[in-house]
A = this chain, B = another copy of it.
């Protein structure tokens, strides 16, 4: 096996340190078709690739060809695309496929797709025969910078996003930057929401870097994307390495998500992309940070402008304050009925804060259409 020098030299690696559950994130162009990406994974008689009808036509053959060198059988199951299908019925398609083929408990699952595919494949791996290994192969910007890293897996419940799931780490993450070439612009923007998130919560300089390089990112400049993916993964690795199961610090990664999840659940899964809801949610969480006196007033327009430039919505849907509050009270961070928000305390630092319903209602009034 040979790997051409230009590819090889461009590969970057970020490690998630979690004792026996540690693993590497490979970031670079051409990784899907590079044999190096697939060496040294757990051995098994069978591999199963999980993907959807949009991604499979683009990348399935390439992955199958690579995995064929390592597994006697390479199976494939296609799930329907979209957040509205991140449910038990879709998950069960994976189990039906595995059990119909008597796939044993060494079987390795490969998640080829975006956040929905990654969350469902990871959760299926967590609970098939009480746990089999899996590999994340994220093909969207959102999945590469956020959802494929850190071991959060889940499906949705009609009453709340990601309510049923597990902390379950992958064996490896293969983030092939070339797969971003085929991403619809709306999906690219959704991914940028999670990229932007890392600035306010952990790295003020990175926020400035994004502001300077946003046009390059929107134009899919490979070196800009490579830096952004790597920096986001480094920050996420730092957070997850300290708090794998979200006992404290890890919650900061949910900046914008309390409002965002309410938008997604309230509108019906699949109407807003997750990244769109998070982008808009960050505007509201920034405003709440300002109204609570944690941040100067200028922070709100600064963040809103960046999110808008990324092509993301900054006005929230009009669900009514009561409905928003009801939806947010089942958020996983809520405790004893009190909603808890991730707020910015200084550029690069976030923390958990409660807020009176009346203040939250003011924020909602200011940002809903």
Q: How many copies does the complex hold?
A: 2
| Residues B337 and A128 in contact, CB atoms below 8 Å apart | no
Interface bits A160-179 vs B (CB < 8 Å: 1, else 0):
10011111000000000000
User: Does any Cβ of B come within 8 Å of A154's Cβ?
Assistant: yes
Distance between A243 CB and nearest chain B CB, rounded to angstroms: 13
| 15 A–B contacts from the bound complex (CB under 8 Å) | A45-B336, A95-B157, A95-B164, A102-B329, A102-B330, A102-B337, A104-B332, A104-B334, A104-B336, A106-B335, A126-B166, A127-B165, A128-B163, A128-B164, A131-B245
Distance between A87 CB and nearest chain B CB, rounded to angstroms: 11
List the B side residues contacting A45 at CB < 8 Å.
335-337
**How many angstroms between the C-alpha atoms of A131 and B167 in the bound complex?**
8
Interface bits A330-348 vs B (CB < 8 Å: 1, else 0):
1010111100000000000
Q: List 10 tightest A-B contacts by C-beta distance, closest first.
A: A99-B159, A45-B336, A102-B330, A129-B332, A130-B165, A102-B329, A104-B335, A127-B164, A105-B332, A130-B167
| Residues B337 and A163 in contact, CB atoms below 8 Å apart | no
Interface bits A139-171 vs B (CB < 8 Å: 1, else 0):
000000000000010100101100111110000
List the B side residues contacting A105 at CB < 8 Å.
332
User: Does any Cβ of B come within 8 Å of A227's Cβ?
Assistant: no
List the B side residues contacting A166 at CB < 8 Å.
126-127, 130-131, 166
Distance between A171 CB and nearest chain B CB, rounded to angstroms: 16
**How many angstroms between the C-alpha atoms of A180 and B45 in the bound complex?**
45
**How many angstroms between the C-alpha atoms of A92 and B89 in the bound complex?**
12
Distance between A104 CB and nearest chain B CB, rounded to angstroms: 5
A-side binding surface: helix, strand, loop or mixed?
mixed
Least CB separation from A73: chain B residue = B336
| Residues A99 and B157 in contact, CB atoms below 8 Å apart | yes
User: Does any Cβ of B come within 8 Å of A209's Cβ?
Assistant: no
**How many angstroms between the C-alpha atoms of A95 and B330 in the bound complex?**
12
| Residues B130 and A127 in contact, CB atoms below 8 Å apart | no
User: Does any Cβ of B come within 8 Å of A5's Cβ?
Assistant: no
Distance between A154 CB and nearest chain B CB, rounded to angstroms: 7
Q: Which residues of A225-263 have CB atoms within 8 Å of chain B's CB atoms?
A: 245-246
User: Does any Cβ of B come within 8 Å of A100's Cβ?
Assistant: yes
Least CB separation from A340: chain B residue = B104
| Residues A100 and B159 in contact, CB atoms below 8 Å apart | yes
| Residues B92 and A88 in contact, CB atoms below 8 Å apart | yes
List the B side residues contacting A336 at CB < 8 Å.
45, 104
**How many angstroms between the C-alpha atoms of A88 and B334 in the bound complex?**
26
**How many angstroms between the C-alpha atoms of A332 and B99 in the bound complex?**
10
Interface bits A20-52 vs B (CB < 8 Å: 1, else 0):
000000000000000000000000010000000
Q: Which residues of A68-109 have CB atoms within 8 Å of chain B's CB atoms?
A: 88, 92, 95-96, 99-100, 102, 104-106
**How many angstroms between the C-alpha atoms of A106 and B335 in the bound complex?**
8
Least CB separation from A246: chain B residue = B130
**How many angstroms between the C-alpha atoms of A348 and B225 in the bound complex?**
61
List the B side residues contacting A129 at CB < 8 Å.
163, 165, 332
**How many angstroms between the C-alpha atoms of A225 and B128 in the bound complex?**
35
